[in-house]
Each structure stands twice: as C-alpha cells, then as structure tokens.
A and B are shown apart, each in its own frame.
Chain A
C-alpha cells in the first residue's frame, strides 16, 4: 500500500504542481522573513560585542593626577591582569566656525603613544587613515563630525579651544564668554573613523577627532585639557573591573577608573533586537496561518481522490499519509527556499545603531538560526498540515470532505443578513461572515481573524510608535519639564546674569533654580537629591504617582529607589546629608530630572527648603542650574545661540538612554505595521478568491435567477468591504487597547509619563484607505466572478 500512497502523492503533486509550488513560495517568503528577522536580531544583539573584540575594547580608562605624576600610569600598566594599554589625552578644542563647543560638543583625543587607538580601542577606519604620529597637521574625524561639516580626506579645518587660564576663569567666576584664546591649529583631514565611544555616547552629540602626539606636543600646553589617561585592556574582562579599580586606588587615591564603552549601546541594541524578534514571531505566526489555509484548500480539493483511495482499501493511516505526503515534500522545499531568502536578505540587517556597530556588514549565514530554523519551519508546517490531514483521513471511505448540503436551520447571522435590496449587499455581507460547510465552505473565520489582526496590529503598532515618538520629542514626559538648562557657578551674580540673558534670548514661560545634593536614604549612601525651586511659572519634576512636595518634609522618589528601600507612597524615609538629617514623607513617585548622569529611577526630589536642611550647599558638584522653559513660538536655536553668546553653557534637556533607545527601534514598528497590513489584505483577497471559486455554483444559480454580471461584481466588492468593515470596527478599538497597554507597560517600566498618543491621522485615513484598497484588490476576483458562464458552471457541477 505504501507504493500506492506514493503513487497518489506523486499524482497529486503533478496534477496541481502550480498550486503546490505556490505553497512552497508561501513557506519560503513567510519563513524567510521570520528567519531573516531572527538572524538579524541575533546579529544586532551581538554587533557591539563583536565590534569591541575587533577593536580590542578598553575595559577601563584611568585618569586623574596622571599629568602631575606620569609614573602613576606606569604603575597602573604594571598591575597584574593588565594585558594591554595605551595613553591618550583629551584636548578642549573644536573646529572654528562650526558652531560646536570645545569639550562640550567635540572630544579631541590626542594619541600619546604607539598603542592607543592602534592596538587598543582601535577605531574602524571608514575612509583614509589615522594621523601620522609625527604629523601635527593631520587629523582624523569621526563620522558624526565628517557628516556635520561635510568633511572627507584632503579637506582642511582649524581646531581651536580655550587656554588653560580661560577655562580656569570660566570655572571660578562663570566668565565663560571668552573660550577661544588657545592656538589655532590648521590641520588636514586624513581619515574618517568610527570608534566604540561614537556608538556609546548616543544621548549627546558625539563629534570627535583624533590627533597625533606631535599635535599634542605643538598645541597641548596652550590648549585647555581635562588631562591625559590610560586605556586599559584587562585579562579578566569587565568582570575584573572591581578588583582593578581597587588596585588602582591602591596606587593613588587621586586616580579614577571609568568603565570602558559598554552598557547603553547593549541596551539600545537589545531594544532593536527584541523588536526584530517580535517581527519574526509575527511573520512566523502569520505565515503558518497562511500556509495552513493554503494546505486546507488544496487538501479539500484532493479529498475525493483520498476517498477513492479508501474505496480501494487504504486504511485510515494510509489515507493520512497520502494527505500529508505532498507536504512532506513541499515543506522541506519551502524551508530551503526560506533559508536561501533569509541569507539573501542578510545584507539588509542589522539596521540603525546595530548596522553601525556591525563589524562585518554584508551577507552573513547564521548557521544556528538558518539551519535549526529551517528544520523548525519544516516541522511546524508538517505539524499544522498533520492536523488537517487527520480530519481528511477520518472521513469515511468514499466520502472525503463532507459535501452534503446544509441540513440545519440557517444561523442567527444568516437571519440577521436577510436578503433584501440591493441583493449584492446582502449576498456579499453573507459571503463575508457565513462560512457554510463542506465543499462550499469558505475560510470566513481565518479571514476575519487575519483582517482583524491586520487592522489591530497596524493601529496598535502605530499607537505605540506614535507614543514613543512623542516621548522622544516632549521632554516633560521623561521628567524634564523645561526647554533648556543653564549651567552656573554658585555665584549669585552669575545666576542673576543668566536670568537677564534668558529674558533677552526669548519669551520666558517659566524659570526655576535647581539645587542638588548627595544624601543617604535609609542608610543607602550617595543618593542624588534634587530640589527645583520655581521662580516664575510652573516648572519642576514630572510626578508619575502622587503629588509634588509642598512641605519641607515631603519627598518624591524614583521607582528603583522606592523599590530598593521597600517604601511606598505615604511611608516615611530617613534622609541624611552633610549638614543634617530628618524624616521625610514619600508623597509621590517621580521621574527624576536628569541634571547629571544618574538614572532617573534612583533619585529624590525635595523642596529647596527641605534640601537645605540636609546639605551645606545646594550648588552640587557641578554647580547650580537654571531651568528655562520658553513660551510656545520661541525660536529655540536663536535662544540657545543668545545664551551661548552671553557666555553661558546652555543645553537642551538630556535625553535619557532608555528614551534614546526607543529611537533605535528605527523602522521596525513601521515594517511590522506594514507586514500586518499586508497580512490582513492577503487574508481578505485570499478569501475573495476562494469564495469566487467555491461559490461559483451559487453565483451561476443567481445569474440564472437574473443577477447581472455587474451585480456579481458588486457582490464580491460588498464581501470585501464587509470583511474590512468587520476588521475596522473590531480591529481599531482592539488596536488602540493593545497599543495603549503595550505603551503604558513600557512607560511604566521606564518611569515615563504613560501618555498615549493616538495616531489620529492614521485612524482617519484607515477607513477610507482600507476600503479603497480592498476594493482595488477585489477587482480581479470580482472580474473573474462576473465573467463566469452560468450554463457552463451549472453543466459542469
């Protein structure tokens, strides 16, 4: 009988070769998309790590006191576990006429030996080369600077910054309006680079340049510099960092150790990678549904043949094998196609930051994903088909798929859609929602589910994406309810001068002075505490739960801190600073404003009076800050320039890393929305095509009863529009709920204000656009239905 089964399978494949090839292509496309996205996700997640390996990433940077005693760095280099090092220095210098601020916007790294940036922390050369060690007139710029100033090898620029004395004066007196007294160095661009730190420092403009030790010798003494440092590669990697830090402190307590480029890039890539995995999962599920539909259709068409096999003596098992046989050949073929397509698509991934971090862009064959994924794809398709095959095999011999007419009363939906004028409307609506049975059955359920998922997915993804976009453009949603902050010394004259400059720079909507301090909270040391004292208008921290502090003994806390302390709203917390201690009541959860690099989840927000009770000065380590919110309509660029021309360091709100990470999703949400939209449309068009074929007898009868070809076309159009209407009516609210829930969950986890932004334009366009599109796609099936010859159909059937 096995031979008989094989002969049947072969005949089935030969007889409907094009249809089965269509299934192969379907498996290939859906599987290819899923495998490509999965491989892309893995590649994205590992890209920065691989870049680091290629670049011999520094695990630590040691600085401080090295300029006064260079032998300290010699001692660090001799520490056990240090297997590579290189020396460099930062120069506060910037291209003249670029509008970039030395030290703030641009980091100029001088290479001080033969190892830094060559054997350790090696940048990737995108164009040209690094400056020659003995060439004081050469510079390599990073790609951000090259793009900003339209530089390429051979171009010239002039680097200039403040003198050490000017910088000192700026720190001490706030007189930062003259910071260009250093030597002007005319240099030629010899290369364009991408280094690990270019990827790492994404929340700020990361413009960078590399100069030689000859440059440093020529200009270093007369140009301000925070000092030189040592890049260190550790045998134990990042895990060895705490021990290394301890050993360095043992050499000199004035030496500081910073971790090398790391964390934030991995976080951002994780977001991107997870987005791709969501895409892969959606593609896999959608593909499996589509393949299942296609197989069910083909299997039903071949049911009569299976029934004949039963008549000839094939048992249930043989009939099951015969039903599954074509899939056993088609599924691996589709999986092979999927693997090939995924490999061909691999140069398109990663995207965004992952693409920049990828050390080996281009085609890549991820053996683990593509081979195991291909096998999993084959197994999944076979499993899906096996379920349908059981149903076919269970049909009694000689019957195949039930083709008997309906013997039950029409259902409630049928009654609801009573036949009335115009007949095409009622007929089309019924075709869209009434499945019927046996050979006349059309995939109503899966079509409606597919269309609803399509609409829901599009609206959900767009709601999430729009909310994520809004949070990136509205700093109040992540805790910074202001347009910019002016960094100040603690000198009252500087504060007054800043207020005056702000009034000239634009129409001020609100002003507040920020105080900072370091406190111990319930014994936990070194907690950032901030006090925002509004001077004009309402400005302050963004309260997520509860309310703003009013009394001096009231405090807000970030989410992580509350969790760490095991406190909830209404509880008290003991705070201690260098000037006092007290018990404060938690009145709210807050997104702590970033005025330095602390996490927004970790800090405290108090009233200014409440903070002054605990600390000797509220000026903080980096001085005070004046927060400014400009009135709507203010020219922000002009305001910034005016403040800077007045000698103030003015910055727009710092974008928290987790918020910037949301931007790394790039086009993934749009791609996912487009994919789901296509899924919904394909499901609808598939249903139309199947209906036209399976209900051709009904259409022929209706034509015999007097329905015109035009009526038939309208019947198909109404079917399409009904399907889409059901999808829109159900999918839009569901999509809004899903998008809102997804965004609220993310916002809650990231301590953002979970304000959901509804994609109003998309919603307005969704109804007419989808109805127009589905009508357009219904043209072919409706044309086929209208061209049907009733006499031929009724004779054949």
Chain B
C-alpha cells in the first residue's frame, strides 16, 4: 500500500517583484512516503524553500496540486491550513525563529497549547522533549542564552511538540558551525530511525548525504527525485522533470 505524506504535482509559484516577477516554481513535483528522510538540494534561488513553504501551508501555489498526509491543501483557507499545520507539520528554520520573549520551555509548550493541549499536559510533554534533546536543564532560560546548536535543537523540539506527521527543515545547519551542524544531523538521523518523516532543504551536499533520498531542484523544477535510492515502496508519482 502506498502511504504518501507529501504529494506535490506540477506546482507553479511566481512572486511579484518591483522590477520583474520571480518564477520560483515552474512545475515542481514531489512525492514523499511515510517514514522517508528526503533532502531537497539545489542552488540558491532554485525554489526549494518555496516548495517547503507550500508543503507547510505557509504559502500557496499559483497552480498545481498539493496534498499533505492525504489532505489536499488547494481548497483550504488560512484557518484550515493553520489547523493542518497543528496536526501534521513541524517546521525547523535556518535561523531558528524562536520566540525570544519566551523561555525555552514555553517555546516548546506553545505549539502544543495552540493545538489544544492543556497547559500542564503540554508542559509535561515539552519537558520530555527537552530532556530527550539534552536541553532539560535549560527549560527556564531564555533562548538567547543557548548556543547555536542548542537553539536549533530547541527549534527541533518545538517542531516535534505535536508529534507531526511531517518534519520540515529549511537549511537547519546553515547558521551553525560544523560541530553544531553535525549534532543536528545526528538528531535528524535518530528521529528518522524512530520513523519520523523528514523533508530537509539544503544546498550543502554533506548535509544532504545524511538523508535517505536526495531530490535535486533547478530553476523551479525537480530534476532528480532520487527515487532509485529509496528502499521502501517505490513512489507512484511522476518524475519531476
């Protein structure tokens, strides 16, 4: 049985800019099966972050179809997309995007509370996650007091707070030194080993090498979906060329 977490077909997205429109996606296709760890690689400006934002429901395609965890996103409004994110998506950003006014613990509590969990239950869950990621003793601190690697681990903990179907990571090691980057990649491997579906965007080959499958993009299209490397069930989606 095919168990697809992401199914993107013929996505187009153009941004209106002052001088000329920027065509970020020009017919991109992507399929990610449950339990996969996919790295999306490509040069700067190839549309990989735009693709990630569309999968996360933070942006909408001008054309094409997108499904996440079996839910088509095309007909969802902003509220419905937010509800979808609560349930299915956790996001890790390059520059962490932590809530600086809140404590480490509250950063992890927040998505759980937004998803409807009671404060006490959310806090218990958040403490477990922080312990798991080695940040248990930092719970009461401000995010600004953490090192780069710790901050990204915190961002990952936050992304995992609602046990998302899909973990999206946009250049998660881009703002880290080599030690911090390795730390984060090791974490992703562990998560994947535990069955977490991960889509990671990077322009860095060593980072992409940590993934199970590497999808390559250029000029807004997927030029290589790395399907031959997948050892799970083959994708039924068309190659994104």
Check if A and B associate: yes
Which residues of A are interface residues toward B (Cβ below 8 A)? Answer: 404-410, 414, 418-421, 423, 430, 434, 436, 440, 697-698, 700-711, 789-792, 794-795
Which of chain B's residues have a CB closer than 8 A to the CB of A710? Answer: 79
Contact A706 B142 (CB under 8 A): no
Contact A698 B101 (CB under 8 A): yes
In whole angstroms, what is the CA distance A620 to B11 when docked? 105
Contact A791 B53 (CB under 8 A): yes
Which of chain B's residues have a CB closer than 8 A to the CB of A795? Answer: 49
B190 adjacent to chain A (CB < 8 Å) = no
24 residue pairs A–B, Cβ–Cβ below 8 Å: A406-B144, A407-B144, A408-B145, A409-B141, A410-B142, A418-B119, A419-B102, A420-B113, A430-B101, A434-B101, A436-B100, A440-B100, A698-B100, A701-B98, A702-B99, A703-B82, A704-B97, A705-B111, A706-B162, A707-B114, A708-B79, A709-B78, A789-B58, A795-B49
Contact B59 A789 (CB under 8 A): yes
Which of chain B's residues have a CB closer than 8 A to the CB of A709? Answer: 78-79, 82
Which residue among A414, A436, A704, A794 has the maximum number of chain B CB atoms within 10 Å of its CB?
Answer: A704
Q: Contacting A419 at CB < 8 Å: which of B49, B78, B91, B119?
A: B119
In whole angstroms, what is the CA distance A789 to B50 when docked? 13
The count of chain B contact residues (Cβ–Cβ below 8 Å) is: 39
* Interchain nearest-CB distance for B146 vs A (Å): 10
Which of chain A's residues have a CB closer than 8 A to the CB of B109? Answer: 419
B218 adjacent to chain A (CB < 8 Å) = no
Q: Which residue of A lies closest to B116 (CB)?
A: A421
Contact A704 B119 (CB under 8 A): no
In whole angstroms, what is the CA distance A707 to B83 when docked? 8
Contact B86 A706 (CB under 8 A): yes
B85 adjacent to chain A (CB < 8 Å) = yes
Q: Which 9 A-B pairs have the closest CB atoms?
A: A405-B144, A706-B86, A420-B119, A708-B82, A791-B58, A791-B59, A791-B53, A407-B144, A705-B111
B25 adjacent to chain A (CB < 8 Å) = no
* Interchain nearest-CB distance for A129 vs B (Å): 73
Which of chain B's residues have a CB closer than 8 A to the CB of A792? Answer: 59
Which of chain A's residues have a CB closer than 8 A to the CB of B93? Answer: 794
* Interchain nearest-CB distance for B129 vs A (Å): 14
Which of chain A's residues have a CB closer than 8 A to the CB of B85? Answer: 704-706
Q: Contacting B144 at CB < 8 Å: which of A404, A698, A702, A707?
A: A404
* Interchain nearest-CB distance for A440 vs B (Å): 7
- Given A421-B116, A706-B111, list of 17 further CB < 8 A pairs? A405-B144, A408-B142, A418-B106, A418-B119, A423-B113, A436-B101, A704-B58, A705-B86, A705-B114, A706-B82, A706-B85, A707-B82, A708-B78, A789-B58, A792-B59, A794-B93, A794-B97
Which of chain B's residues have a CB closer than 8 A to the CB of A410? Answer: 101-103, 106, 142
B207 adjacent to chain A (CB < 8 Å) = no
Which of chain A's residues have a CB closer than 8 A to the CB of B140? Answer: 409
Q: Which residue of B lies closest to A410 (CB)?
A: B103
Which of chain B's residues have a CB closer than 8 A to the CB of A794? Answer: 58, 93, 97
B180 adjacent to chain A (CB < 8 Å) = no
Which of chain B's residues have a CB closer than 8 A to the CB of A404? Answer: 144
Contact A423 B110 (CB under 8 A): yes
In whole angstroms, what is the CA distance A794 to B162 when docked? 21
Q: Which residue of A lies closest to B119 (CB)?
A: A420
User: How does the 8 Å CB contact mask read for B71-91 relative to A, with 1 for contact and 0 for none?
Assistant: 000000011001101100001
In whole angstroms, what is the CA distance A710 to B77 when docked? 12
* Interchain nearest-CB distance for A744 vs B (Å): 44
Q: Which residue of A lies closest to B52 (CB)?
A: A791
Which residues of B are interface residues toward A (Cβ below 8 A)? Answer: 49-50, 53, 56, 58-59, 78-79, 82-83, 85-86, 91, 93, 97-103, 106, 109-111, 113-116, 118-119, 140-145, 158, 162
In whole angstroms, what is the CA distance A791 to B47 when docked? 13
In whole angstroms, what is the CA distance A711 to B111 when docked? 13
Which of chain B's residues have a CB closer than 8 A to the CB of A703? Answer: 58, 82
In whole angstroms, what is the CA distance A408 to B100 when docked? 10
Q: Which residue of B lies closest to A706 (CB)?
A: B86
Contact B142 A701 (CB under 8 A): no
In whole angstroms, what is the CA distance A405 to B145 when docked? 9
* Interchain nearest-CB distance for B53 vs A (Å): 4
Contact B110 A702 (CB under 8 A): yes
In whole angstroms, what is the CA distance A421 to B115 when docked? 10
Q: Contacting A702 at CB < 8 Å: which of B114, B115, B162?
A: B114
In whole angstroms, what is the CA distance A179 to B106 when docked? 90
Which of chain A's residues have a CB closer than 8 A to the CB of B53? Answer: 791
Which of chain A's residues have a CB closer than 8 A to the CB of B115? Answer: 706
In whole angstroms, what is the CA distance A490 to B101 when docked? 84
In whole angstroms, what is the CA distance A534 to B208 when docked? 104
Q: Which residue of A lies closest to B59 (CB)?
A: A791
Which of chain B's residues have a CB closer than 8 A to the CB of A409? Answer: 103, 140-142
Which of chain B's residues have a CB closer than 8 A to the CB of A421? Answer: 113, 116, 118-119
Q: Contacting A414 at CB < 8 Å: which of B91, B101, B119?
A: B101
Contact A701 B143 (CB under 8 A): no
Which residue among B79, B82, B98, B116 has the maximum number of chain A CB atoms within 10 Å of its CB?
Answer: B82
* Interchain nearest-CB distance for A399 vs B (Å): 16
* Interchain nearest-CB distance for B143 vs A (Å): 6
* Interchain nearest-CB distance for A785 vs B (Å): 12
* Interchain nearest-CB distance for A582 vs B (Å): 78
In whole angstroms, what is the CA distance A408 to B184 when docked? 25
In whole angstroms, what is the CA distance A407 to B147 when docked? 11
Q: Which residue of B lies closest to A422 (CB)?
A: B113
Which of chain A's residues have a CB closer than 8 A to the CB of B113? Answer: 419-421, 423
In whole angstroms, what is the CA distance A409 to B102 when docked? 9
Q: Which residue of A lies closest to B155 (CB)?
A: A701
In whole angstroms, what is the CA distance A698 to B93 when docked? 13
Which of chain A's residues have a CB closer than 8 A to the CB of B99? Answer: 698, 701-702
Which of chain A's residues have a CB closer than 8 A to the CB of B98? Answer: 405, 701
In whole angstroms, what is the CA distance A313 to B113 when docked? 50
In whole angstroms, what is the CA distance A481 to B162 when docked? 75
In whole angstroms, what is the CA distance A795 to B52 when docked? 12
Which residue among A420, A702, A705 has the maximum number of chain B CB atoms within 10 Å of its CB?
Answer: A705
* Interchain nearest-CB distance for A259 vs B (Å): 70
